Amino acid sequence: MTILRRAGFGVLLVLIFTGRAAAQSSDDFFNPNAIQRIELWLNDQDWAKLKAAFQENTYYPADVVWNGQTAPNVGIRSRGLGSRSGTKPGLRVDIDRYSDKQTFLGLKSFVLDNLTQDHSGIKETVAMRFFARLGIPVPRETHTQLFVNGRYEGLYGLVESVDKTMMGRVFGSIGDNVLNDGFLFEYNYIQENAWRFEYQGSGLDVYKARFDIKTNETKSDTTIWGPIEELVRLVNNTPAASFEQTVGPKLDLPGFVRYIAAQNFIAQDDGFNGYDGMNNFYFYRLEDSTSHVFIAWDEDNAFLSPQFLFNTRLGDNVLTRKTLEVPAFQAQYYNVLLEAATSASDWLQQEMQRQFAMIANAMESDTKKPYSNSDHATARDAMLAFPAARITVVRCDVAKQTGTTLPAGCQ
């Protein structure tokens, strides 16, 4: 028996929504051009328990209603690291928590980002759309108003889970074979032990601690983490002259360069080359392949400053340093920065303005957010000032570094 039926709402919702429900897809759910409305219906006591124990990962049963469609008896839990909140919980929604065959619009789960660390409310969604323009694998994201038992709980980011469903969408198929059965890892940031891709020895436990396996979990440790140990060892031990030839089959090096250049352009201070070591990414070993790729995740600390240096901490991380010692990849890094500047020049500020307009009312009426509307306005102005200034800084810095003609406006 579902939560809605136990509460006496199920029949009423079916009557109201059956006529309105039409064929919908996950693309509609994550439509970036419309703010969504998601309802959660669950026992009030369970919601109170989740908020009181927000540091725990305890699941509670709930029903999800979106656009006339219901996913009954899903599991919800608190989520996040520094963003966890007892007032405005970030949530993971597992559609298949209590029924492993259940999906919703083809999805097995999704994330509700509480936006507590982003006063602007749009850093994450803008960054992911910008990365997608640059050809970087990213989850789909948009904004939603969240209602729990009919009460408005605030503005949230609606984020696609990085899972087998997303892998199939991003990497496609060869014939009838969907390329989603590789090895997917979520990187685990360990606060007391920052890591910058230094070799950790041949034992696999240290890599198991860093790379949390999300698919093929029943395979042997050697099958799952052995290729990561090998990759880290090769990166550390291979000289520049043979680096591409040796490491290239194990890692999509051009894709990696594109990823770190894009993160630098948006001034991400807590990403792969983060201030306290690597952070905030997924890692995927492609199906039937030895090659790994990076997948962007959690960019809500981006847009730090237009003056963010183009070479910030590039020498600190072993993988970054060794890759950029190869002349072709160093040239690519600068070219992607310029490509990002060109892509941003006719799009980035307009996209920011569009998203700010879309979320304005929902943000203003969100009484659960841990910052004021005045704080939001200040963050909004800083975001809108970022694109023009960042484009100029990047173009000037790359020209100075490569010895090419300085663009107008450089000092």
The answer to whether position 201 is within a domain reads yes
**Which of 9-18, 248-257, 340-349, 354-363 has the lowest average pLDDT?**
9-18
Q: Quote the pLDDT of residue 22.
A: 53
Q: Of 110, 137, 165, which residue constitutes the final position of a domain?
A: 165
Residues 118 and 247 in one domain: no
Whole-angstrom CA distances from 6 to 44, 76, 107, 338 are 12, 17, 25, 57
- Banded pLDDT at 191 (limits 50, 70, 90): confident
Residues 51 and 141 in one domain: yes
Q: Quote the pLDDT of residue 82.
A: 86
- Banded pLDDT at 364 (limits 50, 70, 90): very high
Question: Which value, to the nearest 10 degrees, does the dihedral of the CA atoms of residues 50, 56, 60, 65 take?
Answer: 70
The answer to whether position 312 is within a domain reads no
In this predicted structure, the answer to whether residue 12 has a pLDDT above a threshold of 70 is: no
Residues 323 and 228 in one domain: yes
The answer to whether position 397 is within a domain reads no
Residues 43 and 157 in one domain: yes
Q: Quote the pLDDT of residue 20.
A: 42
Q: What is the pLDDT of residues 48-92, one digit of tens each?
A: 999 999 999 999 999 999 999 999 999 999 999 889 999 999 999
The answer to whether position 267 is within a domain reads yes
Mean pLDDT of 332-346: 97
C-alpha 240/C-alpha 249 separation (Å) is 15
Q: State which residues form the domain around 86.
A: 3-165
Mean pLDDT of 245-271: 98
Residues 71 and 144 in one domain: yes
Residues 218 and 323 in one domain: yes
Give percent above pLDDT 70 in the chain. 94
Residues 183 and 287 in one domain: yes
**Which of 15-29, 42-56, 197-211, 224-238 has the lowest average pLDDT?**
15-29
Q: Quote the pLDDT of residue 411.
A: 81
The answer to whether position 138 is within a domain reads yes
Helix (H), strand (E) at residue 74: strand 69-78
Residues 256 and 127 in one domain: no
Q: What are phi and psi of 280, to 5 degrees?
A: 60, 65
Residues 153 and 244 in one domain: no
| Sign of the alpha-carbon torsion through 201, 206, 211, 214 | positive
Q: Quote the pLDDT of residue 17.
A: 38
Q: Of 132, 165, 198, which residue constitutes the final position of a domain?
A: 165
Q: What are phi and psi of 148, to 5 degrees?
A: -115, 115
The answer to whether position 44 is within a domain reads yes
In this predicted structure, the answer to whether residue 275 has a pLDDT above a threshold of 70 is: yes
In the chain, the largest separation of any two C-alpha atoms, in whole Å, equals: 71
Average pLDDT for the chain: 94
Residues 200 and 288 in one domain: yes
Mean pLDDT of 325-347: 97
Give percent above pLDDT 90 in the chain. 91
Residues 142 and 202 in one domain: no
Residues 98 and 214 in one domain: no
The answer to whether position 394 is within a domain reads no
Domain count, the chain: 2
Question: Which value, to the nearest 10 degrees, does the dihedral of the CA atoms of residues 192, 316, 184, 177 take?
Answer: 180
The answer to whether position 310 is within a domain reads no
Q: Of 165, 182, 208, which residue constitutes the final position of a domain?
A: 165
Q: What is the pLDDT of residues 131-189, one digit of tens each?
A: 999 999 999 999 999 999 999 999 999 999 999 999 999 999 999 899 999 999 999 99
In this predicted structure, the answer to whether residue 21 has a pLDDT above a threshold of 90 is: no
